[in-house]
Amino acid sequence: MRIGVYPGSFDPATYGHLDIIRRASRLFDKLIVAAMVNGEKRSAFTMEEKVDFLKRMTRDIPNVEVDCFDGLLADYVRDKGACAIVKGLRAVSDFEYEFQMALANKKLNPELDTVFLMTEQKYLFLSSTIVRDIARHGGDIAEFVPDEIRMDIMNKLDQTK
């Protein structure tokens, strides 16, 4: 069985992430979407909230499993018996950082490859940071995140209420 791992901060997950999840789910027998800790970022949402959001938005994709992990991605992928890490690339600006992480992960686990999927054009501008910022100011995030999780995001972040 070919298992892929799609890791990320997912703070919160967006339609851009969902697009990558749907497409990657067709490339592997099983895709594990793993909410992980990015040491460079402070999270607005708890791990439990992130996992709950991801579970709700991927309910209809049978070969997707949602998990969370606080540790090294290379170790996690080995433990899960996965053959590849999946990442979405939005722009050239993402590339340097992602390239660096892919090489570091390969050093830590030489059998491990990172597969990059190009973000669909309509989501090129989208990021969790933008979603959080719009939500904090009471803006409309309907076009950026699935309906299943929109109200929970607004309830937590909207400071105009």
Q: Exposure of 13 by Cβ count < 10 A (0-12 exposed, 13-18 middle, 19+ buried)?
A: buried
- Three-state SS annotation for 83-151: CEEEEEECCHHHHHHHHHHHHHHHHHCCCCEEEEEECCHHHCCCCHHHHHHHHHCCCCCCCCCCHHHHH
Tell me the closest approach of the beta carbon of residue 40 to ligand PNS, in angstroms: 7
90 is catalytic: yes
Return the percent helix, strand and coil in the chain, to nearest 5: 45, 20, 40
Q: Is 137 a catalytic residue?
A: no
Site string for ligand PNS, 52-91 (x = CB under 6 A): --------------------xx------------------
- Restricted to residues 108-127, the positions that interact with ligand PNS (CB under 6 A) are none
Q: Please pick, from the candidates 2, 27, 29, 38, the single residue that binds ligand PNS as defined by CB under 6 A.
A: 38
Among 61, 101, 115, 130, binds ligand PNS (CB under 6 A): 101
Active-site residue, from 2, 41, 107, 137: 41
Among positions 4, 5, 6, 8, the unique one binding ligand PNS when judged by CB under 6 A: 8
Residue with tokens 């699935």: 146
Task: Name the site residues for ligand PNS (rule: CB under 6 A).
Answer: 7-9, 36-38, 41, 72-73, 101, 104-105
Catalytic residues: 17, 41, 90, 128
